[in-house]
Amino acid sequence: MKDLRPKDISELFSGQTEKTTLRFITCGSVDDGKSTLIGRLLHESKQIFDDQMTALESESRLYGTQGEKLDFALLVDGLQAEREQGITIDVAYRFFATDKRRFIVADTPGHEQYTRNMATGASTAELAVLLVDARKGVLTQTRRHARIVAMMGIRQVALAVNKMDMVNFDEAVFNRIVEDFRQFAVPFEFARVQSIPLSALDGDNVSSPGNRMAWYEGPTLLDYLETVETHVGKTSAPFRMPVQWVNRPNPDFRGFCGRIAQGAIWPGSAVKVLPSGVHSKVKEIVAWEGNRERAETGESVTLTLEDEVGVSRGDVIVSLDDPPQVADQFEATVLWMSEHPLVPGRLYLLKIHNREVTASVTEIKYKVDVNNGAHLAIKTLAANEIAVVNLSFNQPVVFEPYSANRTLGGFILIDKLSFETVGAGMIIFALRRASNIHWQALEINKETRSALKRQKPYCIWFTGLSGSGKSTIANLLEKRLHADGRHTYILDGDNVRHGLNRDLGFTEVDRVENIRRVAEVAKLMVDAGLITLVSFISPFTDERRMARGLFEPGEFIEVFVDSPLEECERRDTKGLYAKARKGELKNFTGIDSAYEAPEAPEAHLRTKHESPDVCVERILQLIKPSE
Amino acid sequence: MNFNQLEAESIEIIREAYANAANPVMLYSIGKDSSVMLHLARKAFFPAIPPFPLLHVDTTWKFLEMYAHRDRMVAETGMKLITYTNQDGVAAGVNPFTHGSTYYTDVMKTEALKKPLDMYGFDVIFGGARRDEEKSRAKERIFSYRAPGHRWDPKVQRPELWSLYNTRIKKGETIRVFPLSNWTELDIWLYIYHEKIPIVPLYFAKERPVVRRGDAWIMVDDDRLPLEPGETPEIRMVRFRTLGCYPLTGAVESSSGTLEEIIAETFSARTSERQGRLIDSDQAASMEKKKAEGYF
């Protein structure tokens, strides 16, 4: 690199600002010469300083694997364990620049037990350099690397056939490898594969062609990296910006901060906030150097809106005309990264753009064999394994399929106890057809309230003699529902009589009024979206019919807790039957007041023969959410 | 686009860390990287003042001009400054001369960093480290999880995919956040130039009193520098590529008195900036070791 004079600086600077950055990943094992290739790229783009070169010379003598030659791999294997063992353990990021481009290289290990590291490096890369040892050709590991790269959404691939010096620069060897790769890579739908024969150790076709492979007429690796077209046209996509933080330095300013995931925006742009669905217009794009006229994909901005609308972290500001989907159930590809396996049904924290939700895998559809793509049936997913799964979130999120937008379709899974990052995933599509429901700012009603709770509200009405087991079953049912994340409340006869119905006695009139009030309260609770459990003797058919009439069809579940009088009297948990028999308690149902058994209850539980667990299971079947 | 991308990523990182932090702090070492990081924070939160304090770990051996610059920037930003000096080290008379650079760094920098972090209970700590500085830094996460005691274990780093950062931690654990991870030394200088970011004048060449120590010029910044027999300070035209404790920071001979000249010199440099830091040359993996113990 030539010396620069100060007057070149403005020129240099404009050159730097116009330069694009290409992020790419190198895949291959240490035997393929991956670290050597990166070391060579750094060296040839003059990124290695003299003091680093001196250190390299001494380290090459200590740990080098290339005899008398410099071991460029030592430039990139940064951790002591890696230098000692001669392998790459973790993802390292390397930087170099040429006159045309700036590069960030993710250098990742190639062994199967490091699949997660490769996926990590690939997640931010636009291009992959796949290394193949010319002597060995396309191996299982090459197929694995190609599959992971494709899965992570990389569409540009350079097939670097390395160690051509070991096969006498034979064109036929190169052509055979290229053809092998082409055939098996068909399903990956790479936009373009550029195959390059090279020698990383000696430098042929890395930055200059050399004269040993005159038969090859394509670009050198560096030529290719400098000129390859990466993702374009992202700014013509509809606007999406996940809100990262709301800036409120004073009561007069509310700025919505975030990084634009796609599209462009300017003052006056009509936008919508999802999932709430409220509309507004962009007022200003506020920036340190003065308000902006326009902002686009990849920029971190602060927007103000024309209207005072509720926006918080995790919402997404989108173009009004072309909003994305909102859903809570997905089919997704998941890569597992933890030593503790993925277990369906277990709850994990899930982070997608700036939204954190609780999620569980409802079904593992199949595991993908990373080496050959075969689909395998499994129960749990172990570290470095990949599967296609169904996921359920505890709240709806704004998303795009990963293939359309990585920011809006990629997610990580975090263990709820250890807080380790245990998995990474990519949304394939939403399972529920929520995509057609474009969320509007609705009036708040029973539907919206229960939708927020992700449940259908019910009134589950337990009727039966005192001591028949109503409260036991209702309590157990509530525990089960609560554990499933459903919102419940129990109205119990005894408790209500201590408060709301304190003024009522046990005459027939009072008993009717007792039921009327409880039924009305239950109705309000169902309107609030709750699953309401009413546990009252409620001996009269008419009152139960009245109660049923307050609810919509299907909302009222009458549960007859049936136990013979002798059995209830034998249990007599509250000692009431004994009192009634002694005449100390008047109008006691079953003794001196009638109990009218329901004729057609939704559930008829015989507690003498069925355990409380069985009873609860039967009720759960009745209110199971329909899929 | 280059700078927009770098800047946008850093701002995203700073906002993300803040949005998830209970008690964040920005480590401010007064150098060029800290200056860029501070500038990015001001942009990230504009029109608000960055909503966290700056922490300066003061070894008492910084250049005088660094203290002046620090105070100027605190006044200009309106941010709160916390300075911390390991008084145990001061009381024990720990200095870079008699105790050697390794012990000195451990007591006055690494310990002196961990103590205020514990004392104030900071959970998210911004640092200005870059991956291009050094090999073990190249493997550092942007959100770097630290176990209780601030220990870094390169084998249990959290995978970091896309820009989805796992910010969940338990009591006693912390996260170091490096917004400049993907910047190079040249990026830093070009950005300082483009944004007109104020920096300590020591980066500019000027005639300064120095003594030759090994391969480096050490500046006689105050009268605490013990001169070896036969050593007399001489006036040389020098500048600093990196700033730290003056007895441990080597100057280079240079005539670059303007930013343009500095950038030209950096672009054609043949040695890395860390060469000016005497503490790195102890052993090949010394940075990895220091980081494991809690150093930045």
User: Tokens 């966290």 map to which residue?
Assistant: B52
Domain end among A403, A436, A469: A436
Whole-angstrom Cα distance, residue B177 to residue B167? 10
Among the partner-chain residues A7, A104, A420, the one whose CB lies closest to the CB of B158 is A420
Regarding whether A254 and A220 lie in a shared domain, the answer is no
pLDDT at A152 over 90: yes
In 3D, which of A118, A85, A55, A51 has the Cα closest to residue A424?
Answer: A118
Whole-angstrom Cα distance, residue B56 to residue B37? 14
Tell me the CATH number at A407: 2.40.30.10
How many domains would you assign to chain A? 4
Is B1 in Cβ contact with A257 (below 8 Å)? Answer: no
Whole-angstrom Cα distance, residue A125 to residue A128? 7
In 3D, which of B286, B181, B199, B284 has the Cα closest to residue B243?
Answer: B199
Model pLDDT for residues A26-37, shown as the tens digit of each residue: 988 667 888 788
Percent share of chain A, pLDDT over 70: 89
pLDDT at A439 over 60: no
User: By the 8 A CB rule, do A97 and A19 touch?
Assistant: yes
User: By the 8 A CB rule, do A563 and A463 touch?
Assistant: no
CA contacts within 13 A on the Cβ side of A190: 25
pLDDT at A47 over 70: no
Model pLDDT for residues A190-215, shown as the tens digit of each residue: 989 999 999 998 899 998 998 899 99
Regarding whether A427 and A352 lie in a shared domain, the answer is yes
Among the partner-chain residues B46, B136, B182, the one whose CB lies closest to the CB of A93 is B182
What does the pLDDT average to over B229-253?
A: 92
- Name which of A189-203, A232-246, A436-450, B274-288 the model is least confident about: B274-288
Interface residue B230 vs chain A (CB under 8 A): no
Regarding whether B39 and B179 lie in a shared domain, the answer is yes
Question: Domain span at residue B53?
Answer: 2-186+285-292
Is B168 in Cβ contact with A349 (below 8 Å)? Answer: yes
Q: B172: part of which helix (H) or strand (E)?
A: none
What does the pLDDT average to over B157-184?
A: 94
pLDDT band at A235 (very low <50, low <70, confident <90, very high): low
Regarding whether B173 and B92 lie in a shared domain, the answer is yes
B162-189 b/e with 16+ CB inside 10 Å = b?
bbbbbbbbeeeebbbbbbbbbbbbbbbb
Among the partner-chain residues A21, A76, A287, the one whose CB lies closest to the CB of B2 is A21
A128-147 b/e with 16+ CB inside 10 Å = b?
bbbbbbbeeebbebbbbbbb
Whole-angstrom Cα distance, residue A226 to residue A97? 9
Is B4 in Cβ contact with A411 (below 8 Å)? Answer: no
Model pLDDT for residues A544-584, shown as the tens digit of each residue: 888 998 899 899 999 999 999 988 988 888 888 988 888 88
pLDDT band at B3 (very low <50, low <70, confident <90, very high): low
Question: Domain span at residue A130?
Answer: 14-227
Regarding whether B221 and B135 lie in a shared domain, the answer is no
Q: Is residue A195 in some structural domain?
A: yes
A538, A563, A611, A626: which is the annotated catalytic residue? A538
Is B19 in Cβ contact with A313 (below 8 Å)? Answer: yes
Cα separation values, A111 from A116, A141, A327, A563, B96, Å: 10, 8, 36, 65, 45
Regarding whether B211 and B150 lie in a shared domain, the answer is no
Q: Is residue A164 in some structural domain?
A: yes
Regarding whether B260 and B147 lie in a shared domain, the answer is no
Model pLDDT for residues A585-626, shown as the tens digit of each residue: 888 888 888 899 998 899 999 988 899 999 999 999 998 875
Contacts of B272 in chain A (CB under 8 A): 49, 51-52
Regarding whether A604 and A522 lie in a shared domain, the answer is yes
Q: Is residue A562 in some structural domain?
A: yes
Q: Is residue A7 in some structural domain?
A: no
Contacts of A92 in chain B (CB under 8 A): 135, 138-139
Radius of gyration of chain B (CA): 19
Regarding whether B209 and B163 lie in a shared domain, the answer is no
Model pLDDT for residues A275-310, shown as the tens digit of each residue: 999 999 999 999 999 999 999 999 999 999 999 999
A1, A2, A4, A75, best to mutate vs chain B, most B CBs in 10 Å: A4
Q: Is residue A442 in some structural domain?
A: no
User: Tokens 């009192």 map to which residue?
Assistant: A579
Question: Could you tell me which chain B residue has the CA closest to the CA of A352?
Answer: B164
How many domains would you assign to chain B? 2
What does the pLDDT average to over A268-278?
A: 94
**Looking at this protein, which amino acid is placed at residue A55?**
A
What sign for the dihedral angle of Cα B13, B16, B18, B24?
A: negative
DSSP state of B157: P
Regarding whether A287 and A410 lie in a shared domain, the answer is no
Is A298 in Cβ contact with B166 (below 8 Å)? Answer: no
Whole-angstrom Cα distance, residue A478 to residue A488? 7
Domain end among A201, A227, A253: A227
Helix, strand, coil tally for chain B in percent (to 5): 40, 15, 40
Is A12 in Cβ contact with B19 (below 8 Å)? Answer: no
Regarding whether B201 and B171 lie in a shared domain, the answer is no
Report the gap between the CA of B46 and the closest CA in chain A (Å). 6
User: By the 8 A CB rule, do A384 and A345 touch?
Assistant: no
CB pairs under 8 A between A and B: 196
Take residue A496 and report the two structure tokens written for it. 């209500």
Regarding whether A304 and A223 lie in a shared domain, the answer is no
pLDDT at B281 over 50: no
Report the gap between the CA of B233 and the closest CA in chain A (Å). 27
Contacts of A79 in chain B (CB under 8 A): 135-136, 139, 154, 285, 288
Q: Is residue A249 in some structural domain?
A: yes
Q: Is residue A564 in some structural domain?
A: yes
Regarding whether A256 and A186 lie in a shared domain, the answer is no
Interface residue B77 vs chain A (CB under 8 A): no
Question: Could you tell me which chain A residue has the CA closest to the CA of B256?
Answer: A6
Regarding whether A373 and A358 lie in a shared domain, the answer is yes
Regarding whether A407 and A266 lie in a shared domain, the answer is no
Regarding whether B103 and B7 lie in a shared domain, the answer is yes
What does the pLDDT average to over A81-93?
A: 64
What is the reported pLDDT for B1?
37
Regarding whether A288 and A147 lie in a shared domain, the answer is no
Question: Could you tell me which chain A residue has the CA closest to the CA of B284?
Answer: A55
Among the partner-chain residues B46, B275, B288, the one whose CB lies closest to the CB of A288 is B46
Does the annotation mark A236 as catalytic? no
Interface residue B215 vs chain A (CB under 8 A): no
Regarding whether B69 and B6 lie in a shared domain, the answer is yes
pLDDT at B151 over 80: yes
Regarding whether A313 and A220 lie in a shared domain, the answer is no
**Looking at this protein, which amino acid is placed at residue A499?**
G
Regarding whether A401 and A461 lie in a shared domain, the answer is no
Whole-angstrom Cα distance, residue B201 to residue B66? 9
Supply angle C-alpha A39, A227, A298, rounded to 5.
90
Is B163 in Cβ contact with A407 (below 8 Å)? Answer: yes
Regarding whether A480 and A533 lie in a shared domain, the answer is yes
Residues facing residue A336 across a β-bridge: A423
Model pLDDT for residues A331-362, shown as the tens digit of each residue: 999 999 998 899 887 889 999 999 999 998 98
Q: Is residue A298 in some structural domain?
A: yes
